[in-house]
Each structure stands twice: as C-alpha cells, then as structure tokens.
C-alpha cells in the first residue's frame, strides 16, 4: 500500500510538471506573436504611431526647387495632439471677394507666345488658363493700353506727325495690337471666356504731352477731353474684337516719368482728369469699365487717398491699384479703413533675372499672395508673363532685367519662380472666392479663402530657415502637417 501511494504521488508530480512546462510554453508563444495596433497604439518595434489621413490635398514648392508646385502623393495627416503652432480658420468671418491672380500680358509676352507653333501655343495656353488636371488656372490679366516698356518700341493708338493733333480721335487705331496681342487674347478667351482684363497706359499720344515725347512729360490740360475720348475709343475697339476690358488704371506709375514710355501725373491732375473728363466721358458713352486710380507704390498712399477724398472724383472710382517697389504692404489697409466702399488691387511686381529663386519665392509669397490679400486686395498680378533668354523685347531705356514667369525661346518653355508663385493661389482660389479669417504668424504667414464651391484653401509659407511642423484647425477637418524651410504649401479641403 505504501509503495502504491508513492507510485501515485510520483506519477502526479510528473504530470503536474509536464503541465506547467506546456502552459509556460503557450504563454511564451503568445507573448512572441505579432500584436495588432489601433490608431492610438504604438508599434513596439519603432514607436511610431499609426497615421490617419485627412481628405486634405497639399501642393508644395520647395526653396531648393526639388519640388515645384507638386501634389503630394498622400493626403495630409489628420490632427493629432501636439504642442506645435496652430493656424485656426474661421470661415464665418469674411473679408473681400477675389477677382483673380495672374500676370501682365505685355506686348513682348504676346509676341513670344504668338510665334510658337499652333499646337505648342495651344498646349501652353491650356496649361496657363485652365484650372483642371495639371493646369494652373490664371484668372486675371493686365495688358498695356498702347506700348509698355516691354514692347519692341513705344507706340500709342493715335501717333501723328509732328505738329498734328486729332482731338476727335478720327485716326485712332488698335492695328498694332492685331499682330500679336489680340490673337493671343482671343485664344485665351476661348479657353476662359470669363477671364478679367485690366488695361493700363504707360503714355498718352505724344502730341498730348508737354514734352512731345513718349518718355516723361505731363498731359496738357487742353487735351484732357481728347485723352478721355482715347480711353472710350480703346474700350469700344477692344469690345468690337470680343475683348471686354473689365477695368482700366488711369496711368501706370504716375510718379515715375523716367521709364520709356511714361508720364508724370500728379494726384491733383489725376483727380481733375477723372472727375471732369474721364468719368463723365464713360458715363456719356455708357461705358461700365471700372476706373482704378494710382497704380504705383505703397509708400505714397496719400496719392490715392487725396483723390478718394474728393467727392466729385470719388463717385466715378472703383478703387486703387498698387505695386510694392517702395513702402509696406500693410499701408493698403489704411486706405480700406478710410474708404471701405472702394476696392484695392495689386497689379505689378517684377522678378529680377539676377535674383535667387529661394528669395523670390519667400518674399513674393509673403508680401503679395499673403500680404496683399490680407490687406484687402482683390487681385495679385506678377509682372511680365513671358520673355526670351535675352530678356527681350524692351524699349530703349525699358527694363533689361525683367525675368518673365516663362522664358520662351521658339517652342521651348522654361517655368520661372513667378509661375509657381501665382500657381499656388490661382489654381484653387477661383474668382468669387472670399478671404476668410485665419490667425497669422511671422514664422508661418498664411491666408485662407472659401471658394464658390465651398472649399477651404489655405496658402502657408515657412518663413524660417528650419523645417516647421504645425497644425491647421478648420471646421470640417483639422490637420497636422509640416513644411521644409522656405517652402510654400497650398492646402485644399476636399
């Protein structure tokens, strides 16, 4: 009996030991098997959270040109808790309506585009003026009334032999524009019939001027009526070609008579011209084209302010136009505060051929795409759309360093920094979009818009020398994102 009990006890110990070994093995195997993670769990091997993605697209241009207005391959990550700076969008707080983004189609720009073969020209114009697929959707153009300094030579639409005058405009003709500008505009209008066009004169006909020269001089008071009729004839002549001029500025850079062509027009003279001649002439002829004053730098807001303060001139004026070769873009808000019923337009900024891509990308995005629109501008226009590798054509004394948004040599096209600067806004911030509220930052300047279809679009610049991560909080969806140093991003909520 004792031996039997001992045998049973020994057998039970053996079985229990075997059970413990088997159970331990099962636990060990369970611990070693892969473990699934949820969106809030961490992968034990690399400690990287699983990323959830939003419905937001991101287009990026990098300062080193490694990416140029490139749609990123994945959607932007959804917001996750962090301590980074946050941009907060409030679409309920609305500001100005946007007319568009684009360039000046100079006579020289039209020349180069018109000389391309038909198929290549058509392809380029589609890329520029359509907004679908890979196209950039330019929606606003400025053209010169007569020649600018980026034509081959100065001209007006009523050039006469010395000593002759034509106050009734019987010899007025836009024939010179039929060579290149009008054919290119007509092709653009077949692509985008709703594109808005602004006309700006560099000089009146020389017989109207004090110095009888395209460069400098002033408009003689005895020809104010004739010059007002010149504008009427221009708008009517372009309309007869199917080209509607949405707005005109009275004079390009009226305080810079050193260009060729150019005109000195003091504020007091422009006020008299508008209230007593141009405004009444438009009214009499049934012209609805908008009259925009000034068209020069932000350091002299006293110029447009003094004209807007004149009630007789004010009633004919839609708004004021600006460049930024002098002054601070924030000065434009001072005009809005005093005359909130008048519009503001940003109409010109050049890119110099010897300047750096990185510097221009940052400055133009910060000061114009973001700065001008945050200071109430309805348009942002870069200077010449196109030139060739020799920066031609230009008048004698005209700009010899103006780099086009495009460099066109025959059918070969290179896209320069101004192309990408405008693309970041023009493709998605369509005409009729409304600027909406967003908090700003020195390091991450930004501007937000609500499009006619209800999309939110935010343009952000990393204005620092280091890579930056940040958040954007929007009502529909918040995101966590990053931009490389000096890079620009356009975020589109789909």
Residue 323: strand pairing partners: 297, 348
Cα 145 to Cα 247: distance, rounded to the nearest angstrom = 12
Give the number of other CB atoms < 10 A from CB of residue 172. 18
Local confidence pLDDT in tens for the 494 residues of the chain: 333 334 433 444 444 444 444 444 433 334 433 333 333 333 444 455 688 999 999 999 999 999 999 999 999 999 999 999 999 999 999 999 999 999 999 999 999 999 999 999 999 999 999 999 999 999 999 999 999 999 999 999 999 999 999 999 999 999 999 999 999 999 999 999 999 999 999 999 999 999 999 999 999 999 999 999 999 999 999 999 999 999 999 999 999 999 999 999 999 999 999 999 999 999 999 999 999 999 999 999 999 999 999 999 999 999 999 999 999 999 999 999 999 999 999 999 999 999 999 999 999 999 999 999 999 999 999 999 999 999 999 999 999 999 999 999 999 999 999 999 999 999 999 999 999 999 999 999 999 999 999 999 999 999 999 999 999 999 999 999 999 999 999 999 99
Residue pair 362/86 in contact by the 8 Å Cβ criterion:
no
Dihedral of alpha carbons 274, 275, 279, 284, sign: negative
User: CB of 344 within 8 A of CB of 334?
Assistant: no
- Tell how far CA 296 is from the center of its chain: 18
State whether the Cα torsion 416-369-380-454 is positive or negative. Answer: positive
Class of domain 56-94+439-493 as given by CATH: mainly beta
Dist CA 346 CA 271 (whole Å): 21
Please give the Cα distance from 333 to 331 (Å, whole number). 5
Q: Which of the 8 DSSP states describes residue 487?
A: -
User: Are 141 and 188 within 8 A, CB to CB?
Assistant: yes
Going from N- to C-terminal start, the domains of the chain cover 56-94+439-493, 99-430
* Contact predicate 260/215, CB 8 Å: yes
Four-point Cα dihedral 359, 424, 376, 185, nearest 10 = 110
Sequence-ordered strand ranges (E) for 62-195:
70-71, 86-97, 100-104, 140-145
Amino acid 48: pLDDT = 59
CB 416 within 8 A of CB 402: no
Query: So what's the pLDDT on residue 377?
Result: 98
- From the list 38, 37, 163, 105, the residue with the least C-alpha distance to 348 is 105
pLDDT recorded at residue 50: 83
CA distance linking residue 177 with residue 59, whole number of Å: 37
d(CA 369, CA 389): 26
List, as one string, the DSSP characters of 450-476. E-TTS-EEEEEE--SSS-EEEEEE-SS
Distances (CA, A) of 15 to 10, 28, 29: 9, 20, 21
**Would you state the pLDDT for residue 49?**
66
Q: Does domain 99-430 have CATH number 3.20.20.80?
A: yes
Whole-prediction pTM: 0.90
Q: Which of 341, 259, 242 is nearest to 295 (CA)?
A: 259
How many angstroms separate the most distant Cα atoms in the chain? 147
Q: How many CA atoms lie within 13 A of 100 on its CB side?
A: 20
Whole-number Å distance between alpha carbons of 120 and 190: 16
The one-character DSSP state at 409 is E
Nearest Cα to 460, choosing from 476, 449, 450, 448? 448
User: Rounded distance, CA 17 to CA 141, Å?
Assistant: 89
DSSP 8-state symbol, 340? T
Phi, psi of 363 (to 5 degrees): -65, -50
Whether residue 261 is preceded by a cis peptide bond, meaning omega within 30 degrees of 0, is yes
Both tokens assigned to 334: 């001072």
- How much is the pLDDT for 419? 98
């Amino acid at each position: 009996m004792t031996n039997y009990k001992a045998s049973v006890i020994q057998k039970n110990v053996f079985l229990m030991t075997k059970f413990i070994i088997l159970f331990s093995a099962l636990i060990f195997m369970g611990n070693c098997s892969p473990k699934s993670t949820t969106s809030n769990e961490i992968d034990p091997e690399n400690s990287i959270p699983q990323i959830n993605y939003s419905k937001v697209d991101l287009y990026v241009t990098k300062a080193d040109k490694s990416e140029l207005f490139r749609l990123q391959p994945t959607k932007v990550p959804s917001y996750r808790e962090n301590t980074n700076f946050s941009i907060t969008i409030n679409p309920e707080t609305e500001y100005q309506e946007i007319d568009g983004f684009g360039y000046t189609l100079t006579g020289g720009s039209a020349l180069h585009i018109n000389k391309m073969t038909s198929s290549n020209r058509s392809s380029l114009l589609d890329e520029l003026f359509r907004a679908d697929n890979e196209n950039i959707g330019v929606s606003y153009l400025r053209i010169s009334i007569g020649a600018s300094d980026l034509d081959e030579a100065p001209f007006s639409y009523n050039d006469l032999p010395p000593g002759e005058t034509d106050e009734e405009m019987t010899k007025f003709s836009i024939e010179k524009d039929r060579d290149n500008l009008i054919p290119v505009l007509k092709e653009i209008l077949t692509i985008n019939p709703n594109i808005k066009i602004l006309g700006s004169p560099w000089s009146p006909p020389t017989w109207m001027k004090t110095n009888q020269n395209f460069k400098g001089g002033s408009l003689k008071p005895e020809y104010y009526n004739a010059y007002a009729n010149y504008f009427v004839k221009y708008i009517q002549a372009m309309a007869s070609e199917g080209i509607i001029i949405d707005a005109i500025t009275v004079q390009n850079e009226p305080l810079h008579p050193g260009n060729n062509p150019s005109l000195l027009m003091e504020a007091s003279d422009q006020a008299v011209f508008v209230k007593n001649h141009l405004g009444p002439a438009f009214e009499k002829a049934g012209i609805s084209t908008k009259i925009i004053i000034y068209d020069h730098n932000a350091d002299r807001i006293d110029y447009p302010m003094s004209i807007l303060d004149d009630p007789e001139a004010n009633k004919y004026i839609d708004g004021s136009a600006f460049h930024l070769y002098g002054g601070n873009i924030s000065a434009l808000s001072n005009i809005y505060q005093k005359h909130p019923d008048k519009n503001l337009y940003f109409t010109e900024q050049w890119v110099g051929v010897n300047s750096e891509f990185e510097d221009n990308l940052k400055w133009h995005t910060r000061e114009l795409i973001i700065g001008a629109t945050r200071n109430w501008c309805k348009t942002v226009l870069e200077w010449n759309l196109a030139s060739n590798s020799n920066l031609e054509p230009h008048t004698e004394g005209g700009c010899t360093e103006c780099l086009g948004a495009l460099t066109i040599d025959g059918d070969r096209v290179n896209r320069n920094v101004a192309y990408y600067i405008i693309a970041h806004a023009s493709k998605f911030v369509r005409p009729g979009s409304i600027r909406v509220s967003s908090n700003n930052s020195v390091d991450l300047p930004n501007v937000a818009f609500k499009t006619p279809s209800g999309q939110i679009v935010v343009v952000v610049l990393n204005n620092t020398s280091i890579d930056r991560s940040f958040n954007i909080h929007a009502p529909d969806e918040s995101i966590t994102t990053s931009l490389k140093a000096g890079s620009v991003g356009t975020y589109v909520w789909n």
